[in-house]
Amino acid sequence: MSPANIQNVVNTGLALAGQLPLSPEGEAGPFRVPALTGSWGGCAEGLAHPHTRKIRPLVFDRSLAAGRDDVVLCHLNHRLVQMCLRLLRAEVWSQGLAKKLNRFTTRMVSDNALRTPAVLIHGRLLVLGGDNHRIHEEIIVAGGHLREGRFNRMNVGETQDAATAVGDERAPRRVEDRLRELWPKVETSLLQALDARMQDRTRNLQKFLNDRAEREVANVTAVMRELERSIREALADKDDPQLLLNWSDGEQQQRERDISSLRDRLGKLPEELVREIDHLRSRYRDPKPRLFPVAVTFLVPPRAAAALQQGGGQ
């Protein structure tokens, strides 16, 4: 995730949580963290300088934090980012009525990026394995051009270019109203485009999932081999003269039970390893995708916005 995206996640998460926003010290930061309330207060841990105890601001770009101790890098695994991400996920996947996030928005793009309006749809792709265990999750996007009120699907490259061109400015209210009127005409085609993107992405994921399965198999095998080695060493040391002490009857019986248990465990390891490998490989076999549409963004170049405001169609 880029520094700009991490910053957007934090800004949105703080707003959703009813916390005060970050305060920029300059146009591009660094950013002062406000007094956070409730469970969010823990996100301020680590901001104090270890020697001066002065509260340091945040930066989101790693290059801005290199060689400095007067700022704190707010990276993807920072506690503040993680709390914001959890809140955003809860809002995005919520099926209730009390949602705080809008699912429809507009964004202006340059005339060089698009000649006509376009629409993007984001969806949550969830992939379940053979044991219904979640093995992959990501946000996918599909889209199309809007020409004379008709939807023309974009390919993957065109969709990525359009998404990259998105700015921060929303379209004028009148333009948004016109685009809302188009939604019933493009909804089915847009959802079909998202479904096609899901199918394509799922096919491309298979090699990735197979490689992950084999990495997990290798990790489990290494752990089991190490356990086998440790047990064999323990059994080899059982007759060490230093261990042949004057055991009491109870201690000797317990020692024999322990040794017997180790031998039994050693004998079952090969079967356990085969069973665990079969389970891992079956988990990644025949993945089942699940798709959940999340949000719709209409992209509007200035020339098209002017035409829509004047009552013209696209």
What is the tens place of the pLDDT at every residue in 247-284? 677 777 887 888 889 899 899 999 999 999 999 988 88
Looking at every residue in the chain, the average pLDDT score rounds to 87
Instruction: Note the pLDDT of residue 245.
Output: 58
Q: What are the CA-CA distances from residue 212 to residues 86, 128, 216 (Å)?
A: 25, 14, 6
The dihedral built from the CA positions of residue 210, 211, 214 and 216, taken in this order, carries a sign that is: negative
How many residues are present in the chain? 314
CA 64/CA 3 separation, integer angstroms: 11
Say if CB 147 and CB 312 are below 8 A apart: no
Residue 96 has pLDDT above 60, yes or no: no
Instruction: Note the pLDDT of residue 313.
Output: 52
Instruction: Note the pLDDT of residue 20.
Output: 94
What's the pLDDT tens digit per position in 29-40? 799 999 999 999
Say if CB 314 and CB 307 are below 8 A apart: yes
CA 233 to chain centre: 43
Residue 314 has pLDDT above 60, yes or no: no
Instruction: Note the pLDDT of residue 270.
Output: 93
CA 70/CA 78 separation, integer angstroms: 17
pLDDT band with cut points at 50, 70 and 90 for residue 83: very high
Residue type at position 75: H
Q: What are the CA-CA distances from residue 182 to residues 45, 121, 147, 176, 308 (Å)?
A: 48, 14, 11, 10, 12
Residue type at position 23: S
Residue 311 has pLDDT above 80, yes or no: no
Instruction: Note the pLDDT of residue 246.
Output: 63
The DSSP 8-state label assigned to residue 48 in this structure reads B
Instruction: Note the pLDDT of residue 8.
Output: 85
pTM for the full predicted model: 0.66
Say if CB 171 and CB 104 are below 8 A apart: no
195-213 mean pLDDT: 89
Residue of higher predicted confidence among 18 and 130: 18
Residue 243 has pLDDT above 60, yes or no: no
- Quote the tokens at residue 28: 């591009």
Residue 241 has pLDDT above 70, yes or no: no
Residue 1 has pLDDT above 70, yes or no: no
Residue 112 has pLDDT above 60, yes or no: yes
Residue of higher predicted confidence among 97 and 70: 70
Strands 288-300 and 104-108: parallel
